[in-house]
Structure 1
Amino acid sequence: MTQTMIGVIGGSGLYEIDGLEGAEWTTVDSPWGAPSDAILTGRLDGVAMAFLPRHGRGHVHSPTTVPYRANIDALKRLGVTDVIAVSASGSFREEMAPGDFVVVDQFIDRTFAREKSFFGTGCVGHVSVAHPTCPRLGAACITAARDAGITVHEGGTYLAMEGPQFSTLAESRMYREVWGADVIGMTNMPEAKLAREAELCYASVAMITDYDSWHPDHGEVDVTQIIATLLGNADKGRDMVRRLPALLGAERAPCPHGCDRALENAILTAPGARDPELLARLDAVAGRVL
């Protein structure tokens, strides 16, 4: 058994956790650069918590410039064991309405301008992301959302686009009708991939703000509409997060799905051929196997 530490990565509209005991903003140095912001740490119902605003307080990072590697590395260095990613998303499904939550279990990665791995020349690693989220964490999020009175959908495919512009109508129709995506956003990739490389359990909660431009009755995505829905979703998101410590507990066994052992056979570079400089940067992410 290990001590649980829940890390919450807050997306647009969710910039804090209410009710943390001993709350303080902690600056974490990372060899992968500066994280998006300091990390709010404390305890909630006896469970250690860490909150990182993905875009920084004041929303200073665009989806492309979010320092994803530094964020995941910093959470790992703090001792986070379980990451709940909360993000604003558009919907491709009539039944997934604005104000609803979707606990995502699959991704289509259409981002192209981001560093997507901790590994590279000098230490090559390949992890499986066939099932990119942790079912145990996802189930806890579903229960917490339902207990908070939120309409939540179990499972869905998240289309990660580069942004910062929203989709064209043709793109929206393709993602929905041809590719079968359920929600669309700009931030869960490469975040989910990096969490897997760092052997962190990861769950993604998409907070629906709008129907994407495919919807015949809603027209193009309007930022004013999105912001109005964001405010309500943020309150719901905080209600959901407040219920997670009681569900996850202060101690945890090894992940039954192997998320915390993802690097077991992933590193291919021979020990004598590994780059010492890269190994030093991987001390938190991959120290267990290196």
Structure 2
Amino acid sequence: MTETMIAVIGGSGIYEIDGLEDATWRTVETPWGAPSDQILTGALGGVKMAFLPRHGRGHVHSPTTVPYRANIDALKRLGVTDVISVSACGSFREEYAPGDFVVVDQFIDRTFAREKSFFGTGCVAHVSVAHPTCPRLGAACFEAAREAGITVHRGGTYLAMEGPQFSSVAESKMYREGWGCDVIGMTNMPEAKLAREAELCYASVAMVTDYDSWHPDHGTVDVTEIIRVLTGNADKARAMVRLLPGLLGADRAPCPHGCDRALDFAIMTAPDKRDPALLAKLDAVAGRVLGNAGH
């Protein structure tokens, strides 16, 4: 058994966790640069918690400039075991209405201007993201949202776009009708891929703010309306988060889906060919499998 530590990466409108005991904003340095902001740590219901505002307090980072590698590395360094992404999204489904939550379990990654891996020349690794979220953690998020009285949908495909502009009508219709996507957002990739490389369980809760641009009765995406819905969603998200410690508990068994062992067979580069400088940067993310090799 290890000790559970839940991290919430809060998207637009989510900048705090209510009721956090011994709450402290901590500066965490990483070899991948500075995270989006300081990380708020504390405890909730006897379970260690961490909160990271994805865009920084005051919303200073665009979806493209969020330092995804630094964020995931920093959480790993703090001892986080489970990462819950909470983010705003547009809906491609009539039944996924503004104000609803969707516990996402699949992604289509259309981002193109972001660093997507901790690994590279000098230490090549390939992890599986066939199932990019943790079913155990997703189930806990679904249950917490349901208990909080939120209209929540279990399962869905999230189209990750680069942004920062919203979709054209043609793009929106293609993602919805041609590709079968359920929601669209700008921030869950490469975040989910990096969490898998760091052997962290990851779940994504997408909070619907609008119908994107495909819906003939709702016009184009209106930021003013999005902000109004975001405010209500933020209250719901905090209610959901308050219930998670009780569902997950303080003691944590190994992940039944192997998220915490994702690197067991992933590293391809021969030990004598590994770059010591890159290995040093991977100390938190991959230290379990790399040990001191190459140092």
Q: Same fold (TM over 0.5)?
A: yes
Equivalent residue, structure 2, for 1:153: 153
Q: Following the alignment from structure 2 to structure 1, what is the Cα–Cα distance between the partners of residues 285 and 173?
A: 38
The Cα shift of 1:143 comes to: 0.4
Aligned residue type for 2:90: G
Please give the alpha-carbon distance, in whole angstroms, between the structure 1 residues aligned to 2:150 and 2:20: 22
SS in 1 for 2:12: coil
Compute the displacement of 1:72 (Å). 0.1
1:122: Cα distance to partner?
Answer: 0.1
Whether 1:223 aligns to 2:201 is: no
Distance 2:80 2:13 in 1: 22
Deviation for aligned residue 1:90: 0.2
Aligned counterpart, 2:73 = 73
2:115 maps to what in 1? Answer: 115
Q: What is the alpha-carbon distance in structure 1 between the residues aligned to residue 113 and residue 21 of structure 2?
A: 38
Give the alignment of 1:94-243 within 5 angstroms: 94-243=94-243
Instruction: Report SS of the residue matched to 1:41.
Output: strand
* Residue 34 (structure 2) aligns with: 34
Matched residue SS, 1:287 = helix
How much has 1:50 moved relative to structure 2? 0.2
**1:5-44 mapped onto 2 (5 Å cutoff):** 5-44=5-44
Q: Deviations over 1:25-50 (max 9, x none)?
A: 00000000000000000000000000
Structure 2: distance between partners of 1:23 and 1:224: 32
Q: Secondary structure at the match of 1:145?
A: helix
SS in 2 for 1:88: strand
| Other-structure match for 2:244 | 244
Q: How far does residue 83 in structure 1 lie from its aligned partner after superposition?
A: 0.2
Q: CA deviation at 1:76?
A: 0.1
Structure 2 unaligned segments of length 5 or more: list them.
Answer: 291-295
Q: CA deviation at 1:57?
A: 0.2
Cα offset for 1:140?
Answer: 0.2
Instruction: Map Cα deviations across residues 159-209 of structure 1 (whole Å, 9 max, x no partner).
Output: 000000000000000000000000000000000000000000000000000
Shift of residue 102, structure 1, vs aligned partner: 0.0
For 2:216 and 2:152, how far apart are their aligned partners in 1?
Answer: 24
Residue 257 of structure 1 is matched in structure 2 by 257
Cα deviation per residue 1:51-85 (whole Å; 9 max; x = unaligned)?
Answer: 00000000000000000000000000000000000
Please report how far the alpha carbon of residue 96 of structure 1 lies from its aligned counterpart in structure 2 after TM superposition.
Answer: 0.3
What CA distance in whole angstroms lies between the structure 1 residues aligned with 2:250 and 2:135? 19
Q: Which runs of 5+ in 1 are unaligned?
A: none
The amino acid of 2:259's aligned partner reads C
Q: Deviations over 1:201-245 (max 9, x none)?
A: 000000000001000100100000100000000000000000000
What percentage of residue pairs aligned between the two structures are identical? 85
1:83 match: 83
Deviation for aligned residue 1:95? 0.2
Residues in 2 aligned to 1:197 and 1:7: alpha-carbon distance in whole angstroms = 16
2:50 counterpart letter in structure 1: A
Tell me how far apart the structure 1 counterparts of residues 25 and 246 of structure 2 sit (CA, whole Å).
23
The letter for the 1-side match of 2:16 is: E
Deviation at 1:271, TM superposition (A): 0.3
For the residue of structure 2 that corresponds to 1:229, the secondary structure is helix
Q: Hey, what's the Cα distance between the residues in 2 that align with 1:180 and 1:42? A: 40
RMSD: 0.2
CA distance in 2, matches of 1:219, 1:58: 28
Q: Which residue of 1 aligns with 2:284?
A: 284
User: Secondary structure of 2:187's match?
Assistant: coil
Residue 89 of structure 2 aligns to a residue whose secondary structure is strand
Give the whole-Å Cα distance in 1 for the aligned partners of 2:115 and 2:28: 20
1:280 CA drift (Å):
0.1
Shift of 1:252: 0.6
